[in-house]
Amino acid sequence: MDLTNYPKDLLYTEDHEWVRVNGEIATIGITHHAQSELGDIVYVELPEIDDDISKSDSIGTIEAVKTVADIYAPVSGNIISVNEALSDDSSCMNVSPYEDGWIALIKLSDVNELTTLLTHEQYIELIG
């Protein structure tokens, strides 16, 4: 396993989403592991801007050649932005899941939820 595919500065979920925290804003996406399991991603249904979401809510879907998968909110809050570029070219999730392939920005409603997420080491152990 190439550990460079899993940035150490992120938090992770058992459902294979990642979270990058900057103050009270969380950027979310799916991990390299998730996109490699899904195969070629062909369409992403993005969440709605200004939606209030709760941790573990399904906030969208990813359609791949192999299957369709839900995107789960790793944290609670308000969707303040979505990656509109995914509507035109969702394949960037396959190539750059942590940079160009981000899904949404969430203004956190409960920063304490971050303590329930996995660290880099815990996530690597999970996907082993």
- The tens digit of pLDDT for each residue in 11-28 reads 999 999 999 999 999 999
Fold observed for domain 3-111: OB fold (Dihydrolipoamide Acetyltransferase, E2P) (2.40.50)
Q: Which pLDDT value is given to residue 54?
A: 98
Q: Which of 2, 19, 3 is nearest to 119 (CA)?
A: 19
Q: Collect the ranges in the chain with pLDDT lower than 50.
A: none
Q: Which pLDDT value is given to residue 66?
A: 82
Tokens of 18: 């990642």
Domain boundary assignment for the chain = 3-111
Question: How far apart (Å, rounded) are the C-alpha atoms in residues 117 and 88?
Answer: 30
Q: Which pLDDT value is given to residue 8?
A: 95
Q: Which pLDDT value is given to residue 3?
A: 67
Statement: the pTM of the whole predicted model exceeds 0.75: yes
